[in-house]
A and B are shown apart, each in its own frame.
Chain A
């Protein structure tokens, strides 16, 4: 039982390049989330999904796209990376909605955009 895994762990991009971050969970959770963590900003919600085939915008969605084609996977895409997207990205999942459901986080992906 691996919990929540993220691929890759590190990545360096040049401005304008594209990439996809993969999040996978093996807990049969319905809800999945993508956050970014920046110094002095805490974690901010980018996009989330309440089930397979669904996605919704969070607090800071601009410049990102997501897809949830399979229940266990949640992909975060950057179509044209910008230096402002340099950050640590965390994926999380919960069994269901509601704040009483514990979020399980992955180990993070450190992305640098030059």
Chain B
């Protein structure tokens, strides 16, 4: 059973606009949440993370929001750039294990 879900397989956004990627989880024991970015034929690369005791974390154009009561997190990219086009994976950790979502393919249109 999938503990981390990304219900939108794809998203298209105009350059300069905001991209919002969503993620839901079921296990309330998760203590960290992470976002990874993946280009074709490469491994995922870390983007940003958030502790379960926080509700927001920012790093440049990337902001992650966590809503524990709804078991929901989102990644905001502002402004979106064509180089942001990639597959984004949401992940959650508990203990030594990580659980990944199925990914959302983001296309930023110039």
Report whether A45 and B43 are in contact in the complex, using a CB–CB cutoff of 8 Å. no
Interface size, chain A (Cβ < 8 Å): 28
| Residues in B whose Cβ lies below 8 Å from that of A43 | 44, 89, 91, 100
Chain B residue at minimal CB-CB distance from A110: B41
User: Which of B36, B92, B94, B97 is in CB contact (< 8 Å) with A48?
Assistant: B97
Q: How far is the CA of A98 from the CA of B43 in the complex (A)?
A: 20
Interface assignment of A102: CB less than 8 Å from any CB of chain B: yes
Determine how close the nearest CB of chain B comes to the CB of A25; give it in whole angstroms. Answer: 12
Report whether A59 and B43 are in contact in the complex, using a CB–CB cutoff of 8 Å. no
Total number of A-B contacts with CB less than 8 angstroms? 69
Report whether A59 and B97 are in contact in the complex, using a CB–CB cutoff of 8 Å. yes
| Residues in B whose Cβ lies below 8 Å from that of A108 | 41-43
Interface assignment of A4: CB less than 8 Å from any CB of chain B: yes
Interface size, chain B (Cβ < 8 Å): 31
Chain B residue at minimal CB-CB distance from A91: B43
Query: Within residues 50 to 98 of chain B, which ones have a CB less than 8 A from any CB in chain A?
Result: 51, 89, 91-98
| Residues in A whose Cβ lies below 8 Å from that of B106 | none
Query: Within residues 57 to 110 of chain A, which ones have a CB less than 8 A from any CB in chain B?
Result: 58-59, 90, 92, 97-100, 102-108
Report whether A97 and B102 are in contact in the complex, using a CB–CB cutoff of 8 Å. no
Given the interface pairs A99-B34, A100-B32, the reply to whether A42 lies near B98 with Cβ below 8 Å is: no
A-B pairs with the 3 shortest C-beta distances? Answer: A99-B32, A99-B93, A105-B43
List residues of B whose CB falls within 8 A of some A CB: 2, 4, 6, 30-34, 36, 41-46, 49, 51, 89, 91-103
